[in-house]
């Protein structure tokens, strides 16, 4: 006897034919209406749909998004910086006022309206119109 001549010892059980009356009731475990109750009506495999959709998602393949600048008020700068010090993103990070993300200091925006007691020299920061006016009035420089 060879392997292709082998026959099973027991017969396979007959496949249950759902939705054809009998003792299971009219719906036969399929519920009422809808796609799943119909013959041949099954939703598509979810994984395949996700894989087809994946490359088209927004932001795919490392597109860099622009981050909002971190805002700092003039009152905080007046407390932390003395006369003659340069206010820059790296100096703000050293004083613990700004955080770093992935090793680079984030963009900084100086906001607020305040009469400064000592002039500040600002480098590499964006300024609101009120902050720019306040710094220039106190005798500070902006580069």
pLDDT at 19: 64
**Residue corresponding to tokens 């209406």:** 33
Total count of domains within the chain: 1
More reliable by pLDDT, 84 or 64 = 84
The reply to whether 100 falls in a domain is: yes
Q: Secondary structure of 60-110 in the HEC alphabet?
A: CCCCCCCCCCEEEEHHHHHHHCCCCCEECHHHHHHCCCCCEECCEECCEEE
The reply to whether 38 falls in a domain is: no
The reply to whether 1 falls in a domain is: no
The reply to whether 136 falls in a domain is: yes
Q: Please say whether the beta carbons of 75 and 114 come within 8 A.
A: yes
Q: Is 48's pLDDT higher than 80? A: no
- The model's pLDDT over 13-43, given as tens digits with 9 standing for 90+, comes to 887 776 666 666 667 777 788 888 887 777 7
pLDDT at 102: 75
pLDDT at 65: 64
The reply to whether 39 falls in a domain is: no
State the CATH number of the domain containing residue 127. 3.100.10.10
- pLDDT > 90 in the chain, percent: 11
Q: Which domain holds residue 92?
A: 70-142
Give the predicted TM-score (pTM) of the model.
Answer: 0.52
The reply to whether 131 falls in a domain is: yes
Q: Is 57's pLDDT higher than 60? A: no
Q: Is 49's pLDDT higher than 60? A: yes
């Amino acid at each position: 006897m060879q392997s292709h001549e082998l026959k099973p010892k027991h017969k396979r059980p007959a496949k249950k034919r759902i939705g054809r009356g009998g003792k299971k009731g009219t719906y036969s475990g399929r519920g009422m209406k809808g796609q799943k109750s119909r013959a041949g009506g099954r939703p598509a495999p979810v994984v395949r749909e996700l894989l087809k959709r994946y490359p088209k998602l927004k932001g795919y393949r490392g597109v860099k998004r622009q981050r909002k600048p971190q805002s700092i008020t003039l009152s905080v700068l007046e407390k932390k910086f003395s006369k003659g010090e340069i206010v820059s993103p790296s100096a703000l990070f050293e004083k613990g006022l700004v955080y770093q993300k992935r090793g680079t200091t984030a963009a900084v925006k100086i906001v607020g309206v305040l009469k400064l007691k000592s002039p500040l020299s600002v480098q590499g920061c964006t300024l609101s119109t009120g902050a720019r006016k306040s710094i220039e009035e106190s005798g500070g420089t902006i580069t």
